[in-house]
């Protein structure tokens, strides 16, 4: 079971799931996918927040990827309510 945090939005799980399945991607490509149905701008903002909490890593050129912590969250192994922004 996943425990999300107050700082998370509905888009965060979709972003993490997309990256876990598809690999590194840009907010533009995520917005055009069937899985992440939010605007590019919203996805971009959420990716930046997920990087601050260690669930994503910014690879450069607008490309993001899921981290081990992000994978642990998706698997229900990490309670993100205890994470602090860097």
Model confidence at 4: pLDDT above 90: no
Counting other chains too, the contacts that 3-11 makes at CB distance below 8 Å and 24 or more residues apart are 3/79, 3/80, 3/81, 4/80, 4/81, 5/53, 5/80, 5/81, 5/83, 6/81, 7/49, 7/53, 7/85, 8/80, 9/46, 11/36, 11/38, 11/42, 11/43, 11/46
The fold of the 10-77 domain, in CATH, is Arc Repressor Mutant, subunit A (1.10.10)
Say what the pTM is: 0.95
Q: What's the pLDDT at 39?
A: 96
Q: Using 50, 70 and 90 to split pLDDT, how confident is the model at 82?
A: confident
Q: What's the pLDDT at 9?
A: 94
Domain boundaries of the chain, sorted by first residue: 10-77
pLDDT in tens, 23-40: 999 999 999 998 899 999
């Amino acid at each position: 079971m996943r425990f999300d945090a107050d700082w998370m939005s509905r888009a965060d799980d979709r972003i993490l799931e997309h990256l876990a399945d598809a690999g590194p991607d840009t907010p533009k490509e995520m917005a055009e996918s069937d899985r992440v149905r939010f605007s590019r701008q919203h996805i971009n903002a959420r990716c930046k927040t997920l990087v601050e909490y260690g669930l994503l890593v910014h690879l450069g050129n607008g490309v993001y990827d899921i981290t081990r912590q992000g994978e642990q969250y998706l698997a229900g192994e990490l309670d993100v309510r205890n994470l602090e922004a860097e």
